Amino acid sequence: MPAEIKVPTLGESVTTATIARWLKQPGETVAADEPVVELETDKVSVEVAAPSAGTLGTHEVAEGDEVAVGALLAIVDGQGAASGPAPAKAPPAAEPAPQAASPARPQPAAAPVATSSGQTGGIQPPRAPSGPVARPATPPADVERDGHAPLPAAQKMMTERGVAASAVGEGTGKDGRITKGDVLAFLEQPQAKAAPAAPKPAAAPVRQDDPREERVKMTRLRKTIANRLKEAQNNAAILTTFNEVDMSAAMAMRAEYKEAFEKKHNGARLGFMSIFVRACVAALKEFPAVNAEINGDDVIYREFVHMGIAVGGPNGLVVPVLRDADRMSFAEIEGSIAGFGKRAREGALKLDELTGGTFSITNGGIYGSLMSTPILNPPQSAILGMHKIQERPIAVKGQVVIRPMMYIALSYDHRIIDGKEAVSFLVRVKEGVEDPRRLLLGL
């Protein structure tokens, strides 16, 4: 029995998707639960599988088309034959022969049909009756529908000055027609002078591609990322503050407890992200405005932390969310982040894993970035940027020493977060990472 393949439910607030690519072609055999088509939403890519085994029928939509939830994508014929086009409809029954016209009442003559040359063609018009024919009076060609069309001299002046007849109103001429004097009187009124017509914008020049260039259409995910980043710049008053962190203590703790940590927590590796997440959680509790958001004329404060962790995937940057990060242990944080990275590379992140974040962390240091100004992830009000750890000479108690240092940056929405709060927040993060014991003791 044929089975329909439809667009599945795509998650919260997602109602459409784009056909990224067909994985199976019409006529190919498919197994039950085998991926047939890949959809791309604003957030992730989703594979849609065949509901049963059989032969795939015709693609109902093409690659690049936008489809709504519930739309039909294809049909799987369980009998093993590809579903072909619908059978041709039976020809309509022959129409009965027309009955003889009743002689009781003569039929009116058909109206003449105008041809492209302006002459009449087809059925010829009947002869004119011998008596006089009443014809409707036709207004002069220059009379407008409003009944006060300008006279020729007035029309010329109005065209030159960019004045509309409706602006002048009813004229003083015969039948209310606008005269040149009416136009002059209108132009003498300072508040009524018509502004010169704005010049039409020049058409954008067509770009000539070089033969050595390749033009590739932006994916839906990339367009969404671009729109959201531009939205953040347009709507928020973004400011960035910087600090630097001495990573010596964090690196020493990691080196000392790395093996024991992995053994106790089933292979979970102790990294720096869990330390930064816990340091941010502690600072967010102290400065709740950094974890809040603006909603219309209101500010929404939260008593929980949903921490977004920026992860690079094959189609671009995505930000999966650690829900209730303030309740998670170091091991739970490390395990969740490792899982996010693996699923992001495989394109297997779920939609509900990418929504609801209240604060985000991005780590450009894994790519070698020494310093940057991260952009907010709307509707969040702040984001922390981590960077490359680099040994640098610094002064410690009057002595120049070499330490592994990292620059950190906090971009924040100045509409809701004051500079004092932002700087103090970043100082708390610095203190927590430089002395991880503070995090364990809740200091």
The pLDDT value given to residue 383: 96
Domain count, the chain: 2
> Range of 70's domain?
3-77
Is residue 154 in some structural domain?
no
Q: What is the pTM of this model?
A: 0.60
- 414 catalytic, yes or no? yes
Q: Which of 77, 109, 138 is the last residue in one of the domains?
A: 77
| CATH at 252 | 3.30.559.10
| CATH at 14 | 2.40.50.100
Is residue 98 in some structural domain?
no
- The residue annotated as part of the active site, out of 77, 387, 414, 435, is 414
The pLDDT value given to residue 156: 76
Is residue 119 in some structural domain?
no
Is residue 411 in some structural domain?
yes
The pLDDT value given to residue 422: 96
Quick one: CA dihedral 75, 78, 83, 89, positive or negative?
negative
Q: Which of 45, 77, 109 is the last residue in one of the domains?
A: 77
Q: What is the DSSP string of 67-133?
A: EETT-EEEEEETTSS---PPPPPPPPPPPPPPPPPPTTSPPPPPPPEE-TTSSEESSPPPPPPSS--
Is residue 161 in some structural domain?
no
Residues 226-244 as b or e (16 or more Cβ within 10 Å = b): eeeeeebeeebebeebeee
Q: What parts of the chain have a pLDDT lower than 70? A: 11-13, 42-43, 79-149, 174, 190-204, 315, 443
The pLDDT value given to residue 98: 44
d(CA 270, CA 277): 13
Residues 304-333 as b or e (16 or more Cβ within 10 Å = b): ebbbbbbbebebeebbbbbbebbebebbbb
Is residue 194 in some structural domain?
no
d(CA 45, CA 218): 14
Is residue 292 in some structural domain?
yes
Residue 165, exposed/middle/buried by CB under 10 A (0-12, 13-18, 19+)?
Answer: buried
- The residue annotated as part of the active site, out of 33, 65, 352, 418, is 418
- 210 catalytic, yes or no? no
Contact 46, 10 (CB under 8 A): yes
Contact 46, 17 (CB under 8 A): yes
The pLDDT value given to residue 1: 74
Is residue 175 in some structural domain?
no
